Copies of this chain bind each other. A is one copy, B any other.
Amino acid sequence: MDAADPLAAFRTEFALPPGVIYLDGNSLGALPVRTPERVRQVVEREWGHELIRSWNDAGWFEQPYRLGRRIAPLIGADPAEVIVCDTTSVNLFKVLSAALRLRPGRRTVLGDGEAFPTDLYIAEGVTGLVDGGRSLLIRPEELDAHLDGDVAAVVLSHVDYRTGELLDMPGITARVQAAGALMIWDVCHSVGALPVELGAANADFAIGCTYKYLNGGPGAPAFLYVAERHLAAGPVQPLSGWFGHARPFAFEPGYEPKPGIGRFLTSSPSLLGQAALDSSLDVWERADLGAVRAKSLALTDLFVSLVEGLDGIEVVTPREHARRGSQVALRHADGYPVVQALIARGVIGDFRAPDLMRFGFTPLYLSYTEVWDAARHLAEVLASGEWQAEHFSRRGEVT
């Protein structure tokens, strides 16, 4: 399978440590080999040598837009609909605030009670600012029962961060919009893992991070997407800093938002973080998303076929391709020490309480051989009982 893999050559684009099978790219993606040099250039040349002149000469002002245009094809968006800035949580705050203002009189936001919690916490923060506002936590399958006339927006993850379940983006978007609400997709766990088609799905807003499958680096800047039809309506968001102003260098006392996606900017971009992301997008520019998706499904198919039936293991991730992202979640009553025992063998996955072991499959730098070996290690860890060693149960901060 590796010999026939059309993406096999991408492995050399990443600096993975020896002796490691890295199945946590769904949490923090690997380092592209060219990124250190790109970051060094920004630090030493653009900052150190050119200093303040780089704002103009090195295109620093343009970076949020330029990086947005580079991400657009990965999420099926128009280049003018995407911008890179801040963090996923901050960006959700912006688009959710904008969505509520686009639906005056409606005060409910629906979220998935099992979603990655920061989305729920931010929805709580945003609705807490609205008189009578509320954030209601449901499960996606209960959506229709809750889509009443008070729902302004629905926030859902395209791929569930724990189970790896992939939701039906076009179908859910259509149902939400039919009820008069706006649909916000969190694509943190799908961007770079499979073709995301926000435009084709008619999504209203989206947010996503770049440090998972996109390999932008730890704490890399996030992105946000706003459908052109909403940009045309002049959406308002309250994090109205000077970078979103129509004329930031006129230093006018009153805020007047830029036309277009720029009004979702707040302040100075993190240039070092953006440099690393820019470098990682050079790799993505050469990757075919169809091939990425095909390999992702083949890798996860292989892993599931090798681990199902192992002692105490339940495969939680859906078997149907249409409902699967690029990770496999396994339930095991002692998942925490099992994951620690795997890490001790160099197989890096992670654990999510109370009992889920997560394994992410990144088609650009994982081989079928590694998947085979990872499954073998898991079988050996379970069969040998080595996970029962006392030190594997000692918990630090969990990532």
Q: Give me the interface of A with B, judged by CB distance under 8 Å.
A: 15, 17, 20, 22, 24, 27-28, 30-31, 35-36, 39-40, 42-44, 46-56, 60-61, 86-90, 93, 113-114, 116-118, 120-122, 124-126, 128-129, 131, 137, 209, 211, 217-221, 237-245, 248-255, 266-274, 276, 348, 350, 352-353, 396-399
Across the A-B interface, the 5 shortest Cβ-Cβ residue pairs = A89-B241, A31-B48, A118-B242, A125-B238, A218-B271
CA distance A167 to B254 in the complex (A): 23
Could you say which residues of chain B place their CB within 8 Å of the CB of A53? 348, 399
B60 x A122 contact (CB < 8 A): no
Do B129 and A238 have beta carbons less than 8 Å apart? yes
**Docked-complex contact A60 and B218, CB < 8 angstroms:** yes
The reply to whether B121 and A242 contact each other, CB–CB distance below 8 Å, is yes
| Given known A-B contacts A219-B274, A255-B120, A266 and B89 have beta carbons under 8 A apart | yes
Q: How many copies does the complex hold?
A: 2
A252 contacts which chain B residues (CB < 8 A)?
117
A39: nearest chain-B partner, CB-CB: B43
Establish whether residues B125 and A270, one from each chain, have CB atoms under 8 Å apart when the complex forms. no
Which residues on the B side are within 8 Å of A348 (C-beta)?
Answer: 51-53
- Besides A55-B399, A89-B266, A272-B272, 12 more A-B contacts (Cβ < 8 Å) are A36-B40, A36-B43, A39-B43, A42-B218, A53-B399, A86-B86, A89-B242, A117-B253, A120-B253, A219-B274, A249-B399, A250-B353
Residue contact A61 to B397, C-beta cutoff 8 Å: yes
Give Cα A43 to B254, complex, Å.
40
Residue of B nearest to A63 (CB): B219
Q: List 14 A-B contacts (CB under 8 A).
A: A28-B47, A28-B55, A31-B44, A35-B43, A36-B43, A39-B40, A43-B276, A51-B348, A87-B241, A87-B266, A87-B268, A90-B90, A211-B268, A273-B273
A389 CB to nearest chain B CB (Å): 19
Q: Are A397 and B56 in contact (CB under 8 A)?
A: yes
Q: How far is the CA of A399 from the CA of B126 in the complex (A)?
A: 33
B245 touches A117 (CB 8 A): yes
| A124 contact from B120, B124, B255, Cβ within 8 A | B255
State A274–B219 Cα separation when bound (angstroms). Answer: 10
Residues of B within 8 A of A52 (CB): 24, 27-28, 348, 350, 399
State the Cβ distance, A243 to closest chain B Cβ, in Å.
Answer: 8
Picked from B20, B48, B242, the residue with its CB within 8 Å of the CB of A117 is: B242
> Which residues of chain B come closer than 8 Å to A271, judged between CB atoms?
217-219
**B residues near A86, Cβ cutoff 8 Å:** 86-87, 90
A87 vs B50: C-alpha distance in the bound complex, in angstroms?
23
Q: Is the CB of B44 within 8 A of A121?
A: no
A398 and B15 alpha carbons, distance in the complex (Å)? 39
- Given the complex of chains A and B, what is the CA–CA distance between A126 and B399 in angstroms? 33
Residue of B nearest to A244 (CB): B121
Give chain B residues whose Cβ lies under 8 Å from the Cβ of A272.
Answer: 39, 217-219, 270, 272-273, 276
Partner of A267, one of B47, B55, B90, B120: B90
Contact A121 B255, beta carbon cutoff 8 Å:
yes
Q: Which one, B39, B51, B269, B273, contacts A30 given CB within 8 A?
A: B51
Name the B residues within 8 Å of A55 (CB-CB). 28, 397, 399
User: What is the chain B residue whose CB lies nearest that of A343?
Assistant: B53
Q: Which chain B positions have C-beta within 8 A of A24?
A: 51-52
Contacts of A239 in B (CB 8 A): 89-90, 93, 122, 125
B126 touching A238 by the CB < 8 A rule? Answer: yes
Closest B residue to A89 by beta carbon equals B241
Residue of B nearest to A236 (CB): B128
Q: Are A124 and B219 in contact (CB under 8 A)?
A: no
Contacts of A221 in B (CB 8 A): 270
Q: Are A219 and B129 in contact (CB under 8 A)?
A: no
